[in-house]
């Protein structure tokens, strides 16, 4: 089992540690509801150093990025970030990821899901034949913290000379926080104002940065946040989770990711299959739903029915701390996917009425 550079801090804080993607990670500290509310109302700090970081550099770096990702990376300039995906030739999803343009020339960074790290690296490597590129896995050398919530900017601004108010959404700057050089990125997985900071891994540096951020956020009631609240926060925003809502059996178009799938940018892996899907029309669609019973808890794997017909299963589900209702996502036949349509979620052998809603579940 791997440990991040923050592991000793998590243990000291009394976090509940679980295995996740080969790492020992904190699932909660004070409790998922408390941590969720802290991010929605104030500010929270997450250790997400288990995520993978790959660097792609060289004369053909852009060509490789364009080949393996669905979005149009030619639109990126230095200092910009892009949400994207990688697909198999048949159109199924290898992973969703962030693409950073580190330099105007041929230098990019991919940030991938921890559970897919080795698979993703091998996939990119298998597609670089004939291209003048260098692919490097920087994951073990990189620490990543997410500082998220309405008070995140005020917290981090105390620690850097960079004017963070001028960093646009999906943009980044290179500067220092508490004297440590890093990438400060205006990104996150919560729907709130927030930043993700990348810096070289070492327990000493981790302690320095964690302590500085916690002290800066003290007046805003900053809270350490585990993977449990990270999941409820992302689900309230309707953000997909690989392995639940998207995987090799799903394609970006039916998953609602058509906006990051640029079929007119030129060839990329999976494009021909996705063009066929678009021409033939979708047969199913990933939808969001809200249960009509308060606190009915839809879980991953529960059956979804419409008019008595089985449609599929819940891919992600929870009770929304903001709405105090059960929320979830899942794939249903296109005919049942219209917002307002009534469906049933089978919870403990009981039909629980739910309604299809437009994502996200809460507006930020």
CA 268 to chain centre: 22
pLDDT at 60: 98
Residue entry with tokens 């701390």: 321
pLDDT at 270: 98
Residue entry with tokens 């309707």: 238
- DSSP-assigned letter for residue 303: E
Beta bridge partners of 185: 172, 196
Is 88 in the same domain as 142? yes
CB 302 within 8 Å of CB 351: no
**CATH number of the domain residue 353 falls in:** 2.40.30.110
Is 175 in the same domain as 287? no
Range of 50's domain? 1-237
Helix segments in 31-95, DSSP class H: 32-41, 61-68
Q: What is the rounded end-to-end Cα distance, in angstroms, of the chain? A: 37
**pLDDT values of the chain reduced to their tens digit, one per residue, 364 residues:** 999 999 999 999 999 999 999 999 999 999 999 999 999 999 999 999 999 999 999 999 999 999 999 999 999 999 999 999 999 999 999 999 999 999 988 999 999 999 999 999 999 999 999 999 999 999 999 999 999 999 999 999 999 999 999 999 999 999 999 999 999 999 999 999 999 999 999 999 999 999 999 999 999 999 999 999 999 999 999 999 999 999 999 999 999 999 999 999 999 999 999 999 999 999 999 999 999 988 789 999 999 999 999 999 999 999 999 999 999 999 999 999 999 999 999 999 999 999 999 999 999 8
**Domains contained in the chain, number:** 2
Is 229 in the same domain as 317? no
Cβ-count burial 186-211 (b if 16+ within 10 Å, e if not): bbbbbbbbbbbbbbebeeebbebbbe
Q: What is the dihedral of CA 224, 230, 233, 239, to 10 degrees?
A: 150
Is 140 in the same domain as 45? yes
Q: Is residue 167 part of a domain?
A: yes
Rounded Cα gap, residues 95 and 113, in angstroms: 7
Give the max Cα distance, the chain.
61
Helix segments in 44-143, DSSP class H: 61-68, 117-126
**What is the bridge-based pairing of β-strands 194-200 and 303-306?**
unpaired
Q: Is residue 269 part of a domain?
A: no
Is 208 in the same domain as 310? no
Is 337 in the same domain as 198? no
Is 83 in the same domain as 167? yes
pLDDT at 357: 98
Is 82 in the same domain as 162? yes
**CATH number of the domain residue 113 falls in:** 3.30.1360.120
Residues shown for the chain: 364
Is 93 in the same domain as 174? yes
Is 301 in the same domain as 195? no
Residue 146 to residues 32, 157, 170, 223, Cα–Cα distance (Å): 17, 14, 14, 12
Is 197 in the same domain as 306? no
Q: Is residue 268 part of a domain?
A: no
Q: Is residue 256 part of a domain?
A: no
Rounded Cα gap, residues 130 and 108, in angstroms: 18
How many Cα atoms sit within 13 Å of 47 on the Cβ side? Answer: 32
pLDDT at 121: 98
Q: Is residue 259 part of a domain?
A: no
pTM, full prediction: 0.97
């Amino acid at each position: 089992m791997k440990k991040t550079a923050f592991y000793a801090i998590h243990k000291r804080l009394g976090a509940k540690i679980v295995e996740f993607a080969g790492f020992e990670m904190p699932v909660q500290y004070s409790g998922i509801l408390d941590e969720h509310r802290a991010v929605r109302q104030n500010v929270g700090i997450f250790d997400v150093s288990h995520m993978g970081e790959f660097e792609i550099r060289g004369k053909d770096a852009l060509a490789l990025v364009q080949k393996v990702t669905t979005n149009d990376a030619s639109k990126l300039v230095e200092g910009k970030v892009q949400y994207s995906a990688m697909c198999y030739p048949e159109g199924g999803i290898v992973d969703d990821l962030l693409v950073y343009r580190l330099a105007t020339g041929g230098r990019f960074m991919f940030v991938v899901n921890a559970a897919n790290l080795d698979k993703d690296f091998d996939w990119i490597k298998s597609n670089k034949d004939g291209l003048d590129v260098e692919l490097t896995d920087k994951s073990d050398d990189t620490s990543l913290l997410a500082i998220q919530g309405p008070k995140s900017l005020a917290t981090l601004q105390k620690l850097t000379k960079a004017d963070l108010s001028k960093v646009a959404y999906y943009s980044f700057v290179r500067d220092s926080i508490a004297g440590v050089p890093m990438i400060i990125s205006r990104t996150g997985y919560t729907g709130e104002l927030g930043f993700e900071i990348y810096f070289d891994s070492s327990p000493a540096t981790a302690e320095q940065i964690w302590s500085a951020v916690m002290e800066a956020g003290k007046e805003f009631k900053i809270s350490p946040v585990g993977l449990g609240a990270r999941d409820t926060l992302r689900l309230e925003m309707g953000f997909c989770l690989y392995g639940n809502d998207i995987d090799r059996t799903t394609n970006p178009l039916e998953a609602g990711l058509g906006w990051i799938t640029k079929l007119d940018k030129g060839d990329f892996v999976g494009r021909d299959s996705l063009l066929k899907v678009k021409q033939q029309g979708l047969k199913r669609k990933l939808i969001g739903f809200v249960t009509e019973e308060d606190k009915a808890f839809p879980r991953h794997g529960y059956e979804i029915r419409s008019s008595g017909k089985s449609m599929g299963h819940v891919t992600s589900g929870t009770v929304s701390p903001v709405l105090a209702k059960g929320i979830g996502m899942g794939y249903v036949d296109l005919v049942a996917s219209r917002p307002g349509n009534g469906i049933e979620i089978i919870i403990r052998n009981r039909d629980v009425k739910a309604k299809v809603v437009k994502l996200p579940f809460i507006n930020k």
